[in-house]
């Protein structure tokens, strides 16, 4: 394993640790939401959530496998562009999580009407955290030229997110406050999508 491949493996391992931490936080919050006054707030996602988990595991394994098996070269300019996209995505993730606070979860949990968030990035788009995931899954493999993984993960993510966003929006649309606040906002990119 070359130095750049080892560095890439370390980056992927750090991302894996962060994702595991997110799952731990999410499970705690999910238990609190399910045990709260209205356990019906947690939306069932049979088939969908396991597909999301598989996609995110693949995002940590497929890029490294491609780099090692197909001997993808490290290209500094591509790595710098990918790192910039990841830095911007990380900034948006921090802003999103600070804005949504304890309401954030990896599962779909319908908030109380008073908890509908309309500030921060939610002032412009409905799903800033999904935009973060789109950017991360496309850019992370490109840190070391794993373009097949970047393409495959992007396509897989588009399929999963189309269903996830529809599921989440159907649940959130039960809240008049969410419908009123988000009706005219784009899902992911202001003025576009």
**pLDDT tens column, 4-45:** 999 999 999 999 999 999 999 998 888 876 666 566 678 888
pTM comes to: 0.93
- Give pLDDT, residue 164: 96
Q: 108 with 45: CB under 8 angstroms?
A: yes
Could you tell me which of 144, 52, 67, 153 has the C-alpha nearest to residue 105?
52
156 forms bridges with which residues in the sheet?
none
Residue 30 to residue 32: CA distance in whole angstroms: 5
Instruction: Give residue limits of the domains in the chain.
Output: 3-182
The CATH label, of 1.20.1250.20, 3.40.50.1980, 2.60.260.20, 1.20.120.1630, for the domain at 3-182 is 1.20.120.1630
Question: To which H or E segment does residue 4 belong?
Answer: helix 3-34
- Give pLDDT, residue 161: 97
Chain centre to alpha carbon of residue 188: 12
Q: 189 with 131: CB under 8 angstroms?
A: yes
Residue 76 to residue 11: CA distance in whole angstroms: 16
- Give pLDDT, residue 63: 98
- Below-50 pLDDT ranges, the chain: none
């Amino acid at each position: 394993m070359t130095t750049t491949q080892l560095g890439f493996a370390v980056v992927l391992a750090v991302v894996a640790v962060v994702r595991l931490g997110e799952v731990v936080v999410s499970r705690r919050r999910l238990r609190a939401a399910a045990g709260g006054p209205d356990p019906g707030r947690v939306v069932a996602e049979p088939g969908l959530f396991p597909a999301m988990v598989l996609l995110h595991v693949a995002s940590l394994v497929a890029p490294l496998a491609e780099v090692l098996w197909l001997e993808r070269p490290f290209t500094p300019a591509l790595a710098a562009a990918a790192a910039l996209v990841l830095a911007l995505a990380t900034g948006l993730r921090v802003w999103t999580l600070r804005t949504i606070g304890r309401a954030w979860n990896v599962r779909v949990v319908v908030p109380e009407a008073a908890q509908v968030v309309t500030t921060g990035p939610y002032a412009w788009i409905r799903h800033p955290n999904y935009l973060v995931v789109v950017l991360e899954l496309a850019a992370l493999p490109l840190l070391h030229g794993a373009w097949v993984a970047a393409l495959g993960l992007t396509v897989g993510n588009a399929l999963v997110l189309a269903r996830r966003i529809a599921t989440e929006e159907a649940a959130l649309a039960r809240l008049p406050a969410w419908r009123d606040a988000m009706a005219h906002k784009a899902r992911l990119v202001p003025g576009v999508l």
